Chain A
């Protein structure tokens, strides 16, 4: 199976006042393309740090990190933003939709950044709107959508550019059970159909039960992995 993510001996330290905190202590991790992986662990385990690094929002102090076949730990800072734009999608706990943009415009946004023509954008946005089941809400502004609908739009925004990796940070934490289940179903289905890899940081059992693999992080180290 082709690897989507490969991390070898990833270290990360933080400075808190005069003390240094070892957030990640030599993490080794591989995720295959198309996998649906949960990242769990108690607060302070380094879960968010690892998720941020995998999303190229942060970097290791040392270690190797290969994402979609690219040694991203060697990328210069100015190339990282472009790489993220092309290869990574994000789904946030609080959806993080742009309030001045309609559902359609929110989904279209990453494609505009890629410089795609408006015709191609329309084709892709319409398709993904259909996939997440919010075609009829395309002109709605985020404040007119329910939590579940907003998360669907957010997932569509993450998926529209067909990234290799989708980073999801507690995507069901703000949703009721029924909506959370629908969102998990949707993410799994889209993952299967689109071939996208999901790395999901979560505390939500509803989510972990449905993931193919669970990576448990404790004190900055992968304690165990559970299939």
Chain B
């Protein structure tokens, strides 16, 4: 405590220089926290979006995610209702949503195009936390009219390319599990912005029952498992892998290619930025401590003459730089929180990333762990920088140091 007090007093001896150094550290900390906070927030949003879309865990045919199907529903699950019931009895499971994926041709009276079907349980659209953005119309009905045409929800660009709108009748054609072709008329009940360009261009949502009729099967492809507590994903994953050895149980992260790509992209960009900030702080502290050491050469000589071990003298300067780094970190954190709060309050956002349609909110997720890691990293860097400077100072002979003017 005594040495901290002396360190603080020494910092105040040249207050202008100390303020400049603290400001530089604070700006560095604010930059790191803002960048990493933005990265964290974006990664988190994508993770939430992905988990919401595909579930925390996915149960499928063992090879479903490893290769393409050679024929329609080649890797379908037959007795999925039995597995679904078992899963639904697990108290940790919130929802089990089956789905099917296949592609085919879609025609209006005027045009024909390609669609990628995602056949789902309509519950998916009616959950409280459903993130689907409807452009027109509504979701697939929970209790569809069995007498009417099957329902279809289209990606907005697919609907536009077919000149389809809510109420339009479209014919969907696909190959069946037996190798033939089948076609069914659907009615468009809604159009959506799926969040990315590819999905908007090709995606067609339909009820599982209608999809099974179209491809002539009673199978499905996957069951998305939504958990009540996301943090239990790994433990449930391990249990289910043991429980269903003949099925594929996949973690959401294994299939979140976009999440992974963006995380790596941000990691690289902000990693380089963090490195630049660290170098900046290193040289700033190093410069400050070098000046301090030169100014206090006679003091260093006096300390050494009184018998202070050289490492203790160096330690004094390290403590000073540590204090500067901590003050800078506190100010920088306050600055980052202020900037983050202001941007969030103003609803600031940056343009959508490549392949996406929604702007990315400019919010910072600044966790206490991020603050702690940043502060400690900069404190360590500062300590190293000051150690270099101070070591140069204490290497001088005591006689030379005592006569320094």
Contacts and interface: CB of A to CB of B under 8 A. Distances in A.
B9 A100 contact: yes
A100 B310 CA distance: 19
B124 to A, nearest CB: 67
A51 B361 CA distance: 71
Interface in B1-33: 2, 6, 9-10, 13
A160 B9 CA distance: 24
Given A100-B6, A100-B13, A85 B307 contact: yes
Contacts of B342: none
Interface in A93-147: 94, 96, 98-101, 109-110, 112-113
A123 B398 CA distance: 30
B13 A82 contact: no
Interface in A35-52: 52
Interface string A48-60: 0000100101100
Given A57-B398, A98-B299, A90 B13 contact: no
B305 interface: yes
B306 A55 contact: no
Q: By DSSP majority rule, is chain B's interface helix, strand, loop, or mixed?
A: helix
A113 B309 CA distance: 9
A84 B402 CA distance: 16
B278 interface: no
B13 A81 contact: no
A84 B309 CA distance: 11
Given A57-B305, A81-B304, A92 B399 contact: no
A99 B2 CA distance: 15
Pick the most buried of B9, B298, B303, B399: most chain A CB atoms within 10 A of its CB. Answer: B399
A49 to B, nearest CB: 9
A92 B402 CA distance: 9
Contacts of A157: 306
Given A96-B298, A98-B299, A100-B13, A90 B306 contact: yes
A86 interface: yes
Nearest to A93: B402
Nearest to B10: A100
B130 interface: no
Interface in B299-321: 299, 301-310
A113 B305 contact: no
Given A100-B9, A100-B10, A101-B6, A113 B399 contact: no
Contacts of A98: 6, 299, 302-303
Contacts of A92: 302, 402
What bracket does the count of chain B residues touching chain A fall in? 20 to 34
A52 B305 CA distance: 10
Nearest to B398: A57
Contacts of B306: 84-85, 90, 109-110, 113, 157
B307 A58 contact: no
Interface string A152-166: 000001000000000
A128 to B, nearest CB: 15
Contacts of B10: 100
A52 B307 contact: no
Contacts of B301: 96
Contacts of B397: 57-58
Given A90-B306, A101-B6, A113-B307, A52 B399 contact: yes
Contacts of A52: 399
A153 to B, nearest CB: 13
Contacts of B9: 100
A109 B298 CA distance: 16
A112 B397 CA distance: 23
Contacts of B310: 81
Contacts of A112: 2
Given A57-B398, A58-B399, A82 B305 contact: no
B41 to A, nearest CB: 43
Contacts of B13: 99-100
B247 to A, nearest CB: 69
B307 A86 contact: yes
A26 B399 CA distance: 21
Nearest to A78: B309
Contacts of A55: 305
Contacts of B303: 98
Interface in B379-405: 397-399, 402
Given A52-B399, A57-B398, A92-B402, A82 B302 contact: no
B302 A81 contact: no
Contacts of A101: 6
A117 B328 CA distance: 35
A52 B403 CA distance: 12
A90 B303 CA distance: 11
Given A85-B308, A99-B299, 14 more contacts: A52-B399, A58-B397, A81-B309, A81-B310, A84-B306, A85-B307, A90-B306, A92-B402, A98-B6, A100-B9, A100-B10, A109-B306, A110-B307, A113-B306
10 contacts: A57-B397, A84-B306, A84-B307, A90-B302, A96-B402, A98-B6, A98-B299, A99-B13, A110-B307, A157-B306
Leading 9 A-B pairs by shortest Cβ distance: A85-B307, A100-B9, A96-B302, A57-B398, A84-B307, A100-B6, A52-B399, A57-B399, A90-B305
Interface of A: 52, 55, 57-58, 81-82, 84-86, 90, 92, 94, 96, 98-101, 109-110, 112-113, 157
